Structure 1
Amino acid sequence: MQTMTVGPREIREAVTMREAIDAVRGGFIDLAAGGFEMPTRTALRDGRFLVMSAHHRATASAMIKTLSLNFDRAPAIAGTVVWSETGRVDSLVADAGAVTTLRTGAAVGAATDLLAPADASRLTIIGAGGQAPDQVRAVHTVRPLRELTVVDADPRRAEALAETLAPELTGAHIRTAAEAEAAVGDAEIVCCATNATSPLFAEAALPAQVHVNAIGAFRPTMRELPDELLASSTVIIDELEAILEESGEILHAVESGAITRDDLTELGAALSAPEPPRGKRTVFKTVGVAMQDWAIARLLADKFLP
């Protein structure tokens, strides 16, 4: 029996974004069908420490992730993802930071592929931190980009992200901006990846047709989207119990009466439906669930374990 340890570089080299999107998409479908035992994650010190676990019944495999989160350091996420399976005596331990950014991007990729117009090619990413690169990569995988706008209050961070992504977005026009309101006006897809505690833009700033992904707010005290946008959009979420426990913007919109729980559709159900959800404006709100980490860990286990 041995434990295989997989670091960030090995994870990046082993798993493509397309593989990650396909794995997480399948995981959401299994989740909707009842294929997982998945407790709501434990959050300590107002989300500074997180513990997540998932058991996939069909494969008798399980994943446990523990991490610490600190936006004042780089990388912000530090911890481990541990994979085990009853059919294997070997186990796998992977870097939680790389798995988390990859699986969060993959969820956005699956949602964007389902909800964004087929010809959408203009993305605005708000927030140029550690999650941002995989947000852009995931969208680019399912909707090849012609234009990318990177928004961050720190111009140096925005420029750094633009430079990092330029070789991967061959032929795309990339620009940076400091103000979200102006930058979302002509976007076809918007990704929000910040630690904001109030909405990043007004609903009126968006075009009539747009798909918005919101991944940054993962605690009740955080909020990236305005109530008016949620009220006027088709809203898809990762998992209802987790969203009602942790999503500041959804909790605020429900409490204000802008939306009700019946207005929320889980991604797994939407992916399993005969027809995708319709609407000029669509929103995917995710706080992240353990199934996503399980999906990436399973890919790694298949690649690294005997």
Structure 2
Amino acid sequence: MRAIMLDEREVRAAVAMPEAVAAVRQGFTDLAAGAFEMPVRTVLDEGRFLVMPVHHRPTSSAVIKTLSLNFDRTPAIGGTVAWSELHSHDRVVADAGAVTALRTGAAVGAATDLLADPGADELVLIGAGGQAPDQVRAVHAVRPLRRLTVVATAPERARALIDRLRPELDGVRLEAAADARAAVGGAPIVCCATTATAPLFAADDLPERVHVNAVGAFRPTMRELPDELLAGADVVIDEREAVLEESGEVIHALEAGAITEADLRELGPALAKDDGARAPRTVFKSVGVAVQDWAIAHLLAERVLR
């Protein structure tokens, strides 16, 4: 019996973002095909502790992620992602913060590749926290960027993120900004990765054609997007049951009558039946589901256990 422990550095070394995007894309497609058993995650202490299990039937493998969230510490996410298989005693236990950031970015990459205009090459990222770098890496993997603007209420955090990403973004114009509403005005792609409890901008601040990813709000009390944007956009979500229970944006828009449940499309079926048509405005709303963790853990297991 082997138990392979992987820290953040080892997770990063084992999985590149393009691989992660491909794996998470396939995971959502398999979810749509019924390959996974995935309960809604268990939320404890008002969201400070999360437990996310998932079972992949074709491989008889399972992942359980257990994490704590504290945005007053760095990094904010702590915990483990544990991989096990029915036919083996071997297992992998990986750093939950690294896996979560990687798989959250990868889902955004898959959704952006599906929904953003093929020629979109400018990204406005709102938020400069732990999830932010992988939002940029994922979008850049599917829509090579010409320009990146990082918006943060503390300018020094935006500049620090830009300095961190600069070696990975050769030839990309890099800018910092403090006003989200002004920054999104000409952006074909917007990523929101904040802990906001009120919309970050108005729908009218956005251009006529835009794709927006929102991954920061994961509790009903949190919101990054306005109702008017969801009402006028093609809205794709990661998983219906999870979003209806946890997404403040979706819950608020439903209660306000801005949208109905019929207006929500899940990512897996959308990927499986992509007809190439794109609405002028598209939104990907994700609260994060365990299939994403399984996809990254599967890559890790293939590399360290085989």
TM-score, length-scaled by structure 2: 0.99
Partner residue of 1:102?
Answer: 102
1:65 aligns with 2:65: yes
Q: How many residues align?
A: 306
**Are the counterparts in 2 of residues 270 and 276 from structure 1 also a CA contact under 8 Å?**
no
Partner residue of 2:54?
Answer: 54
Partner residue of 2:114?
Answer: 114
**Whole-Å Cα distance in 1 between the matches of residues 139 and 15 of structure 2?**
16
**Whole-Å Cα distance in 2 between the matches of residues 38 and 71 of structure 1?**
27
Give CA-to-partner distance per residue, 1:211-257, whole Å, 9 cap, x none: 00000000000000000000000000000000000000000000000
**Whole-Å Cα distance in 2 between the matches of residues 180 and 22 of structure 1?**
30
Q: What are the ranges of 5 or more consecutive residues in structure 2 without an aligned counterpart?
A: none
Which one-letter code corresponds to 1:302 in the other structure? E
**Whole-Å Cα distance in 2 between the matches of residues 130 and 106 of structure 1?**
14
**Whole-Å Cα distance in 2 between the matches of residues 125 and 264 of structure 1?**
24
CA RMSD in angstroms comes to 0.7
Partner residue of 1:19?
Answer: 19
The alpha-carbon deviation at position 274 of structure 1 amounts to 4.4
Equivalent residue runs for 1:161-172 within 5 Å:
161-172=161-172
Partner residue of 1:128?
Answer: 128
Runs (4+) of structure 1 exceeding 4 A deviation are none
Which one-letter code corresponds to 2:67 in the other structure? L
**Are the counterparts in 1 of residues 236 and 264 from structure 2 also a CA contact under 8 Å?**
yes
**Whole-Å Cα distance in 2 between the matches of residues 89 and 300 of structure 1?**
16
Which one-letter code corresponds to 1:34 in the other structure? G
Partner residue of 1:82?
Answer: 82
**Whole-Å Cα distance in 2 between the matches of residues 277 and 233 of structure 1?**
13
Q: What are the ranges of 5 or more consecutive residues in structure 1 without an aligned counterpart?
A: none
**Are the counterparts in 2 of residues 238 and 268 from structure 1 also a CA contact under 8 Å?**
yes
**Are the counterparts in 2 of residues 67 and 80 from structure 1 also a CA contact under 8 Å?**
yes
Partner residue of 2:226?
Answer: 226
Give CA-to-partner distance per residue, 1:35-55, whole Å, 9 cap, x none: 100000001111110000100
**Are the counterparts in 2 of residues 270 and 277 from structure 1 also a CA contact under 8 Å?**
no
The alpha-carbon deviation at position 132 of structure 1 amounts to 0.1
Match of 2:185, SS? coil
Which one-letter code corresponds to 1:75 in the other structure? P
Which one-letter code corresponds to 1:10 in the other structure? E
**Are the counterparts in 2 of residues 237 and 284 from structure 1 also a CA contact under 8 Å?**
yes
Equivalent residue runs for 1:1-306 within 5 Å:
1-276=1-276, 278-306=278-306
**Whole-Å Cα distance in 2 between the matches of residues 136 and 78 of structure 1?**
22
**Whole-Å Cα distance in 1 between the matches of residues 45 and 86 of structure 2?**
33
Which one-letter code corresponds to 1:252 in the other structure? H
The alpha-carbon deviation at position 277 of structure 1 amounts to 5.0
Which one-letter code corresponds to 2:193 in the other structure? A
**Whole-Å Cα distance in 2 between the matches of residues 277 and 18 of structure 1?**
24
Match of 1:22, SS? helix
Give CA-to-partner distance per residue, 1:168-224, whole Å, 9 cap, x none: 111111000011000000101000000000000000000000000000000000000
CA distance 1:80–1:30, shift in 2 (3 Å): same
**Whole-Å Cα distance in 2 between the matches of residues 173 and 232 of structure 1?**
30
The alpha-carbon deviation at position 2 of structure 1 amounts to 1.5
**Whole-Å Cα distance in 2 between the matches of residues 86 and 106 of structure 1?**
27
Which one-letter code corresponds to 1:98 in the other structure? A
Which one-letter code corresponds to 1:112 in the other structure? T
TM-score, length-scaled by structure 1: 0.99
